[in-house]
Amino acid sequence: MKKIAGATILILVATLAFFLVYFKFFKEKPREMETTQSVVTEEFKYVALGDSAAVGVGASIPDKGYVGLIFEKLKEKYPKASLNNLAVSGATTTDLINAQLNKAKTFKPDLVTISVGANDITGQITDEIFSQNIEQALTTLDDENLKIVLTNIPDISLAAAVPVEIKSKVREKVKNFNKIIENSANKFEIPLVDLYSASLKEAQEAEKYLSSDLYHPNDSGYELWADEMWKVIDQFLSSEKN
């Protein structure tokens, strides 16, 4: 009888152990795999629009520009993220409308960033035309229900490359255009990144943040911009999910 009782206990213990192992590894694992799989298979299309800053002029390589840095951060959240950078050096808001917007729409992006305006200032575009162009660009993208993040214009008057005799005029123009950008962003309820304030910090430590052309950011400068932009982008994307 003792042998039978002992055998029965062993069988019960073995059975209990089997069920513990079963529920631990065969019931819990599928949940973990599903969570991992949903992240890996999720696609995310990022399109960047704008001028030389979005191209990454001044960085050691284009990937070190703010667009490349933001893309790296996006890939951490969306491993299958893709990037189409349609920005062109020297682009104005008119170029944005004529050469970039229609291309951007074809990609059906999940995120569009726009940084433009500095070349409108150097090209002496009027406040009225700049306002009309920004309005038209945002209307075009908003009609597609695209998620847009907009930047204002850095204070390019602080750059050593800008002649002293026109610095005050350029600074005034930057402020006027930034007010237009802010008003448009508020109208369309678009997140706005304050690169103007970031440029003030760059100007205080030009050797650290500016490239050899004394106008565009270097790798460190773009990293500063990307950090400011990512704060807004990350919060924006998170709020859209909720």
Query: How confident is the model at residue 13, as a pLDDT?
Result: 40
Residue range 121-140: mean pLDDT, rounded: 97
pLDDT of 62 > 90? The answer is yes
pLDDT of 78 > 80? The answer is yes
> Mind listing the pLDDT tens digit for each residue in 81-93?
999 999 999 999 9
Mean pLDDT of the chain: 86
Query: How confident is the model at residue 16, as a pLDDT?
Result: 43
Residue range 190-217: mean pLDDT, rounded: 93
Q: DSSP string covering 192-236, please?
A: EE-HHHHHHHHHHTHHHHB-TTSSSB-HHHHHHHHHHHHHHHHHH
| Rounded distance between C-alpha atoms, residue 116 and residue 4, angstroms | 85
